[in-house]
Amino acid sequence: MELTTTSHALKEWAVAINALEHGKTIMLLRKGGIREKNGRFQVAHEQILLYPTYEHQQALMLKAEYANLVSPVIPGWHPEKVPISSWATITDILPVSDESIVNALFPFHIWNEHFISDRLKWKPSQPIYVLLLRTYKLPQVVEIPYLQEYGGCKSWIGLAPTIHLQDAEAVFSDSNYTELVKEIRSIILENN
């Protein structure tokens, strides 16, 4: 059942959310924030708002076409108001531990080889989670005040306001999204 409102949000680099919203990708690669429950990444909610973060974005971790979209900020910086412009349904959660599989997925995400290598080496006993997101653009951007509890190295936050999801437009048609998911899943299955 689709939600009509939610306050659950996934924190992600602003450049990644922009790529999701503009149909450049349907994929996020996650290992989780430092403050994750039980020290590992878990999906808390399948239908989530996309909360842009700026502090940890690193141009050197992105493919060239995305690197120039990142402006460095000082540690601890955040906007006074955070723009929430989309929500998503996480349709697939695919744990991957093999570097060759992650490399085979290279055309489908925004990160470069350095990011992949770095993520695989951090907590090497834990997989990278390939999240596939069906993203929807809200009819208008909702600006929410930044609250201190939104900060820190955690993936999931509850926003103070509940945001209405109605009238949002899917970035991909059903058939295009299904085709991309099928292609990504086949790469993972072929290399597993």
pLDDT tens digits, one per residue of 91-129: 999 999 888 898 899 999 999 988 888 877 777 778 888
Q: What tokens were used for 163?
A: 């945001």
For residue 95, the one-letter residue type is P
- 58-91 pLDDT, tens per residue? 888 999 999 999 988 888 888 999 999 999 999 9
163: how many CB neighbours lie within 10 A of its CB? Answer: 16
What is the chain's alpha carbon radius of gyration, rounded to the nearest angstrom?
16
Helix, strand, coil percentages (3-state) for the chain, rounded to 5, are 30, 35, 35
Q: Residue 128 CB: number of other CB atoms within 10 A?
A: 24
Listed in sequence order, the residues at least 6 apart from 190 whose beta carbon sits closer than 8 Å to its beta carbon are none
Taking the C-alpha atoms of 115, 118, 119 and 121 in order, what is their torsion angle to the nearest 10 degrees? 160
Residue 32 token pair = 């989780």
Residue 116: per-residue pLDDT: 82
The reported pLDDT for the residue numbered 45 is 86
Alpha carbon 21 to chain centroid distance? 11
Q: Structure pTM?
A: 0.92
> What single-letter amino acid sits at 132?
L
Number of helical (H) and strand (E) elements in the chain, helices listed first: 5, 7
Q: Please report the domains of the chain, with CATH numbers, ordered by start residue.
A: 5-191 (2.30.130.30)
Contact (CB, 8 A) for 63 and 145: no
What's the rounded Cα separation, in Å, for the pair 24 and 27?
9
Length of the chain counted residue by residue: 192
